[in-house]
Structure 1
Amino acid sequence: MSGFGRYLAAALAARFASEGMGMAVVLLALERTGSASYGAFVLTAWLAPHVLAAPLAGAAAGRTRRPRLFHLATLAGFTAAVAALAVLLGRAPLPLVLAVAVLGGSCGPMVTGGLSSLVTGLVPPGAGRDRAYGWDASTYNAAAVTAPAAVSLVTALGSAAPAMAVLAVSCALAAALAATLPYGNPRAGGPQDGPRAGLGAGLAALWRVRELRAVTAATTLAFVGIGSLTTTSVLLATGLGSPGAGGVLMTAFAVGALVGSLTLGRMTAVEPGRLVRWALAGTGAVLAAAAFAPSVAVTAALFAAAGVCDGPLLTATLRIRSEHAPDAVRTQVFTLGAGLKVTAASAGAALVGLAAEAPAWMLLTGIAGLQLAAALLHALTAARGSEPQAALTARSAGSPTAVSGRRSPGAP
């Protein structure tokens, strides 16, 4: 198996574990305590550290001289936290359980954006790398489809604890595969020993580079809506007379997103910024139509179509980060972007919980409006002038003080 093939296997295994945690934690909490709120507290502790840990994880990954060891350590920490929660949740004191969840969640940015940042070092620049990001995006969508289904199936056959164990084994497999990857391969264009970026350098790059600022702002806004889609789908299905069909709607969306990433997401001839706007606008328009669908079957078909539109968004986002992030802060840019999206999704889930008494069609219309607003925000932000990326990258590479404030020992 090629280096990139092993990467895809590692990414899929890690993201399978990550995607399954939400359902597994809630099911295990219900099983052991009878309280959904207990699971919600633990899940919040798992998700909350993402945005805070993202810059720390990205900076540490960019500064370490042993990237293989760093990635293995974060994946091992993620694995250990999942396994510990399988044992402790509902049995140990809640503060201890929450502390374990916080520690495990702090490794989350490396499972998402941190892993994606490795693609640059595995595939040479050009259309091949663009296609590689399409495959990388498909691992997120494949995990979103399979992980909740696997957790539900294992729980139905036994209990939620073995389901958590499956997730831990999957992440352990990811760590084993990650150990075999060729980190920093110069022939593939991967970063070598160069400028060491400071802790705030990634955030500065997200703000100063127009393309990064535009895609980060747009996707963060869009994910406020996506984070509320699961709860809204349950309410929508209930309003259509099928309370249990909420999962069907989200599965249709996830399957559509997987199809979209494997088809439309591989349109390397389309400029990624344009693909971002198309994806957001298409998703918003189809979800708006779904808000007024007369049956679950029609709604599911429209959710699948919305997923197809959403599928290329992640691919385009990864391409933009790869093309425009200065080498010294590349991992920070990937982890920060992922952390902001997770945090936005969490905020969306909380907001829809507060507005759960509103009609479901109104909530879905609001989600659609956020996708359309995100497309407009990207168009406006990307059109505004800023410092040219070439100048920023050149200064970052030629004058490390511009990024970190000091020259690293290996810099020329």
Structure 2
Amino acid sequence: MPRPSGVLRYLMTAFCARMADEGMAVAVVMLAAHRTGSAAQGAFVLTAWMAPHVLAAPLTGAVAARARRPRLFYVGALGGFALAISVLAMSIGRVPLPAVLAVAAAGGCCGPAVSGGLSSLITRLLPAGAERDRAYSWDAAIYNAAAVAGPGAAGLVSATLSPTTAVLMLSAAAACAAALMALLPLRPDTAAVRVSPARLRQDLAAGVRTVRQEQELRAITAATCLAFIGIGALTTTSVLLAESLGSAGAGGLLMTAFAAGALTGTLGIARLRPAASPQRLALIGLLGTGTGLTAAALAPSAPTAAASFAVAGACDGLVLTATLRIRADHSPPQWRTQVFTIGAGLKISAAALGSVLVGLATTGTAHRYLTGIAVLQAAGALLYTLIRRNPHPDAPAPRPGSGAGVPGQNGLPESPSPTAPQ
């Protein structure tokens, strides 16, 4: 078994990479506004940054799964991520916009490796069991810690030094992630090495087919994508909600409360290790997120809304933790990396759709939009329940001796107990 320092090193790697990714939303917009006098170019750059995720995710997963030296693959992906951020720092507002967008799209193609791809490496650090489940809880906490630290650090450095320095700081964080990745003690994945040398497009189709046919993967992917249409609209809606409550500057406070709540929720799962299964955690989390946001829509003041956002964020943290564990438990080893990258890519694309749909919102409609976001969380919970109750007609039957559906085999959890987190 790898030493615990391997997991700690992984968490440091993931934090640096995801902090860079999360901070881009703030730093790029501030840099564009600083150099051009308008945030419009920053919005275009962010669109180009996010757009490739859904297309690049299957390819990233397939290439990573086929790589005989996965550490080298991820070092290259993180290095390319850092390089793209550095080039954007120098080019936004200084070179023609099409060239800037091309750089942003190239950097965005590395995004699936930063999001879902990194999470898939936990299976190469720890064998199936309680420790791996706990590692996924910590990984979810890292997602949320980066969501707090990235925008916060980018905003602080932009205000105190300059937006250019802020973007370069994010590039340095991504470069640190690449350096740390080179030191990860990854276990050999013999299943990945034995992948058939068939054409790459066959592997791409197999990864997508796995997500579609495996009931648990299909359920959690569909539910979280539906919920993330709402989450993608949450930032804009929170700003408008704060204005409607008479606290125009509190929009950032609401999202900070949401991110802090999510971090608290994931840390609590990692620390307390509840006996609930990941499926139950996902359902509770989706319903809790919707309830918290509904309370925020009815809140009479910004502080009350912030408290409701924190509760919603804590429940969203449960959903993320459960999602990571379900992907790990129900992915065939040879397609596991693709499952992680495809799932993350679809969620980011769903969030991008949400950010577009909220474009017509106004201060007067903020409460209705927030209620709609809450309804999407509840709809995600309903969709999750329905899909889990209705197996896909094309789903393959468990093979004899494969361990599928047998507690304790193929990564599936045994019966809940206080000492074995589910």
Q: TM (normalized to structure 2)?
A: 0.90
Partner residue of 1:147 out of 150, 168, 181: 150
Say yes or no: does 1:391 pair with 2:394.
no
Tell me: CA distance 1:77–1:389, structure 2 relative to 1, closer, same or farther (3 Å).
Answer: farther
Structure 2: gaps (5+ residues): 197-201, 405-422
Q: Match of 1:410?
A: none
Say yes or no: does 1:75 pair with 2:62.
no
Q: TM (normalized to structure 1)?
A: 0.92
Q: Report the Cα distance in structure 2 between the residues aligned to 1:393 and 1:260, rounded to whole angstroms.
A: 37
Q: Which string of whole-angstrom CA distances, capped at 9 and with x for unpartnered residues, describes residues 155-193 of structure 1? A: 11121000001101101000000001123346xxx7452
Tell me: CA distance 1:385–1:207, structure 2 relative to 1, closer, same or farther (3 Å).
Answer: same
8 Å Cα contact 1:220-1:341 kept in structure 2: yes
Say yes or no: does 1:205 pair with 2:210.
yes
Greater mean alpha carbon deviation, residues 379-388 or residues 227-236? 379-388
The residue type paired with residue 138 of structure 1 is A
Q: Match of 1:50?
A: 53
Q: Match of 2:420?
A: none
Greater mean alpha carbon deviation, residues 214-223 or residues 261-270? 261-270
User: How many residues matched?
Assistant: 393
Q: Report the Cα distance in structure 1 between the residues aligned to 2:25 and 2:321, rounded to whole angstroms.
A: 24
Q: Match of 2:418?
A: none
Q: Match of 1:35?
A: 38
Map 1:246-265; keep pairs closer than 5 Å: 246-264=251-269
What's the CA shift for 1:22?
Answer: 0.6
Tell me: CA distance 1:354–1:132, structure 2 relative to 1, closer, same or farther (3 Å).
Answer: same
Structure 1: gaps (5+ residues): 397-412
What's the CA shift for 1:389?
Answer: 7.1
8 Å Cα contact 2:79-2:175 kept in structure 1: yes
What's the CA shift for 1:69?
Answer: 1.2
Q: Report the Cα distance in structure 1 between the residues aligned to 2:401 and 2:117, rounded to whole angstroms.
A: 20
The residue type paired with residue 55 of structure 2 is L
Partner residue of 1:376 out of 360, 376, 382: 382
Say yes or no: does 1:287 pair with 2:290.
no
Q: Match of 1:15?
A: 18
Map 1:316-355; keep pairs closer than 5 Å: 316-355=322-361
Say yes or no: does 1:302 pair with 2:308.
yes
What's the CA shift for 1:385?
Answer: 2.4
What's the CA shift for 1:65?
Answer: 1.4
Matched residue SS, 1:359: helix
The residue type paired with residue 50 of structure 1 is H
Q: Match of 1:135?
A: 138
Greater mean alpha carbon deviation, residues 77-86 or residues 60-69? 60-69
Tell me: CA distance 1:393–1:102, structure 2 relative to 1, closer, same or farther (3 Å).
Answer: farther
Say yes or no: does 1:228 pair with 2:205.
no
Q: Match of 1:195?
A: 195
Q: Match of 1:245?
A: 250
What's the CA shift for 1:269?
Answer: 2.1
Say yes or no: does 1:88 pair with 2:80.
no
Q: Match of 2:176?
A: 173
What's the CA shift for 1:298?
Answer: 0.5
Matched residue SS, 1:124: coil
Q: Report the Cα distance in structure 1 between the residues aligned to 2:118 and 2:401, rounded to whole angstroms.
A: 22
Partner residue of 1:26 out of 21, 26, 29: 29
Where has structure 1 moved over 4 Å in runs of 4 or more? 392-396
8 Å Cα contact 1:81-1:100 kept in structure 2: yes
Q: Report the Cα distance in structure 2 between the residues aligned to 1:306 and 1:53, rounded to whole angstroms.
A: 30
The residue type paired with residue 370 of structure 2 is L
8 Å Cα contact 2:192-2:333 kept in structure 1: no
What's the CA shift for 1:123?
Answer: 1.1
The residue type paired with residue 184 of structure 1 is R
What's the CA shift for 1:394?
Answer: 4.5
Tell me: CA distance 1:241–1:354, structure 2 relative to 1, closer, same or farther (3 Å).
Answer: same
Q: Which string of whole-angstrom CA distances, capped at 9 and with x for unpartnered residues, describes residues 128-175 of structure 1? A: 111100000011100001111111110111210000011011010000
8 Å Cα contact 2:115-2:341 kept in structure 1: yes
What's the CA shift for 1:355?
Answer: 3.4
What's the CA shift for 1:388?
Answer: 6.1
What's the CA shift for 1:391?
Answer: 3.3
Matched residue SS, 2:183: coil
Q: Match of 2:419?
A: none
Matched residue SS, 1:180: coil
Q: Report the Cα distance in structure 1 between the residues aligned to 2:107 and 2:397, rounded to whole angstroms.
A: 35
8 Å Cα contact 1:288-1:365 kept in structure 2: yes
The residue type paired with residue 275 of structure 2 is A
8 Å Cα contact 2:52-2:105 kept in structure 1: yes
Q: Report the Cα distance in structure 1 between the residues aligned to 2:381 and 2:246, rounded to whole angstroms.
A: 33
RMSD: 1.8
Q: Report the Cα distance in structure 2 between the residues aligned to 1:177 and 1:50, rounded to whole angstroms.
A: 24
Q: Report the Cα distance in structure 1 between the residues aligned to 2:220 and 2:398, rounded to whole angstroms.
A: 18
The residue type paired with residue 312 of structure 1 is L
The residue type paired with residue 371 of structure 1 is Q
Matched residue SS, 1:254: helix
8 Å Cα contact 2:244-2:364 kept in structure 1: no
Matched residue SS, 2:128: coil
Tell me: CA distance 1:251–1:309, structure 2 relative to 1, closer, same or farther (3 Å).
Answer: same
Q: Which string of whole-angstrom CA distances, capped at 9 and with x for unpartnered residues, describes residues 53-112 of structure 1? A: 000110000111121111111001000000000001110111110000000000000001
Q: Report the Cα distance in structure 1 between the residues aligned to 2:31 and 2:204, rounded to whole angstroms.
A: 37
What's the CA shift for 1:392?
Answer: 10
Tell me: CA distance 1:389–1:212, structure 2 relative to 1, closer, same or farther (3 Å).
Answer: farther
The residue type paired with residue 264 of structure 2 is V
What's the CA shift for 1:281?
Answer: 0.3
Q: Match of 2:371?
A: 365
